[in-house]
Chains A and B, each alone.
Chain A
Amino acid sequence: MQPPTRQTKSDLERVQRRAGYLFILPSFGLYAVFVLAPVILTFVLSFTYYDPMVGSRWVGLENFERFFTGDRSLQIFWNTLCFAIFAVAGNVIVGLLLALALNRAMPSFLLYLFRLAYFLPVIIAAAFVSIVWGYFYGDDLGVINYYLTRLGFAPVHWLTSSRTAMMSIIIMDVWKNAGFFMIIFIAALQGVPKSIMDAAIMDEPSYWRRFFRIILPWISPVVFFAIVYASIGALQVYESIVILTQGGPGDATRSMSIHIVEEAFGSFEIGYGASVSVIMTLIILIITSIQLLASRRWVRY
């Protein structure tokens, strides 16, 4: 009895193994070609000077040194961090406020309309809405300045002054993305157990103290996730800036992504462009691993 059963069992295992590899082959093959291999190649390229005619030459850390010592690249680095910090703060805070406002009983058609209004900007391409906002932000023919002057205020150089351009882009980014965080926070708020909410209402009659003492700590893992997720997106900012200001005035709004494209494909500084993208990836990896470590601690807690 024993040998035949083992035979069929190992047969089954063999068939299953073969099926398993065949099923993942298309996906893993494409992944290896279009993600894994390019990432590894970019890391290698970042240590080289690449010349399409002659081939590449090993230059060690020269590209990275160039990035971290150049005045221009440092400003671009700072621009990107500055955009990320303010856009993330804006998106998370506004998203949370919207969620608190909408997390109450209301007729379902109202909920549908609210979701429509606040979520629509999230799913429309930044490339499209940036063009519309470009006209809203116009100096003389802009929609916003028209109303400002009608109300008796001085017109604002939304995109043409290096002091305000970055802020204008951040405002548009918050308009576009806050709805995404609102939805996440509504889900988190609805996950707070009713017993805790009831107890909180007894303990803390003041709404805002209740929020900071009890509700915010309860949803803090989600808030933390939102911050990390928003940071990863914000560090890659590209099309909204390209369309609104092309990185200007001067270099006032140029981001790392724009720098990568201009250097690698405009000036054909392939190695240097690769090193900038490696730096961006490393920042993202660090932020993500901090989240992984922290969420592990939260779970234990």
Chain B
Amino acid sequence: MGPILIMKTKAAKRWIDRTIITFMAALGVVMLLPFAWLFSMSFRSPAEAYKMPPSFLPPSLDFKNYWAVLTSSIPFLQIYWNSVEVAVLVTLGQLVTCTLAAFAFARLTFPGRDSIFFVMLVGLMFPAQVTIIPIYLGFAQVGLLNRPIGLVLMYLTSSFGVFLVRQFMRSQPKALEEAALMDGAGYLKIFYRISLPQLRPALSALGIITFTQTWNYYFQARVLLEPQRAMTLPIAMDLLRGYLASGNLSVVMAAMSMAVLPVILIFLLAQKLVIEGVTMSGIKN
């Protein structure tokens, strides 16, 4: 009786597993429908844009709509370049400033170290809303308003980045660094030659989070970048919609497809890193 009962419950359990997995697969497809619609729409001809039923697979691979975006009256390439510039510079900047600071907080002793670190951690609690007004007024005075480089300056460092790299560094052994110190190496050399190579996992996580986050900034960009030529992609999408939507939905979706492409590519190529990174940025406390 015993083994049969166990076999029975095992079979039942397997059946439950399969049902749930099938259900989750169906739900997963539904989750992806908005993206499927967006891509397929970008290939629909303007005349068919509003035709029902909606399509979730591209009817043909005709890049006319993409060409229409690039030749429209909106400086799309300039806007795209702004987004690339902001995201790349912010990412590189954060990798440098955060690692330098993290090295000091994790490996060096100096008076006030822990209180300074604490003050930086407090920064995690302030939303962009509470810093934007003085930054706007200040940028207006020094001529940084309506320039993408202003957005870059704002985000050249982050409390979260410092915290992330410091935590990672503290989990690494410091024997090599101490040995190098004994040999009389300077701190900059130790940092550059010994600590930095060990930090690769933390740095790739930080790089990926920072890039996607910066690519997606909306609130700050909308306040600080008003003219079309200064915009980044998220705020320009709204503009495109206003300009083109009445005429052509497919063209808007072609622009959108280009705008989401870098983040989707990163995600497809480095899914594990992205998920780890984004969740780490959540569990910062």
Q: Which residues of A contact B (CB under 8 A)?
A: 13, 15-17, 19-21, 23-24, 26-28, 30-31, 34-39, 41-42, 45, 98, 101-102, 104-106, 110, 112-129, 131-136, 141, 143, 146, 150, 175, 179-180, 183-184, 187, 225, 229, 232, 235-236, 238-239, 242-243, 256-257, 260-261, 264-265, 270, 273-274, 277-278, 280-281, 284-285, 288, 291-292, 295
Contact = CB atoms under 8 A, between A and B. Distances in A.
A26 B222 contact: no
Contacts, number: 253
Closest 3 CB pairs of A and B: A117-B28, A125-B216, A20-B110
Interface of B: 17, 20-21, 23-25, 28-29, 31-32, 34-35, 37-38, 50, 52-54, 96-98, 100-101, 103-105, 108-111, 113, 116, 119-120, 123, 125-138, 153-157, 159, 162, 186-188, 191, 212, 215-216, 218-219, 222-223, 234-235, 237-238, 241, 249, 252-253, 256, 259-260, 263-264, 267-268, 271, 274-275, 278-279, 282-283, 285
Contacts of B216: 123-127
B16 to A, nearest CB: 9
B153 A277 contact: no
29 contacts: A26-B157, A27-B98, A30-B156, A30-B157, A31-B157, A34-B131, A106-B21, A114-B28, A115-B271, A118-B31, A119-B267, A119-B271, A123-B263, A123-B278, A124-B264, A125-B263, A126-B216, A127-B218, A127-B237, A132-B253, A183-B279, A239-B219, A242-B222, A260-B129, A261-B219, A273-B133, A277-B127, A281-B125, A292-B285
B222 A261 contact: yes
A23 B110 CA distance: 11
Contacts of A122: 278
Given A31-B120, A123-B267, A146-B53, A128 B135 contact: no
Nearest to A207: B16
B38 A281 contact: no
Given A27-B100, A117-B29, A104 B133 contact: no
Given A113-B28, A243-B238, A281 B130 contact: yes
B265 to A, nearest CB: 11
A118 B31 CA distance: 7
B127 A28 contact: no
B131 to A, nearest CB: 4
A38 B131 contact: yes
B271 A285 contact: no
B264 A277 contact: no
Contacts of B28: 113-114, 117-118
A265 B21 contact: no
Contacts of A175: 31, 34
A133 B219 contact: no
A270 B133 contact: yes
A180 to B, nearest CB: 7
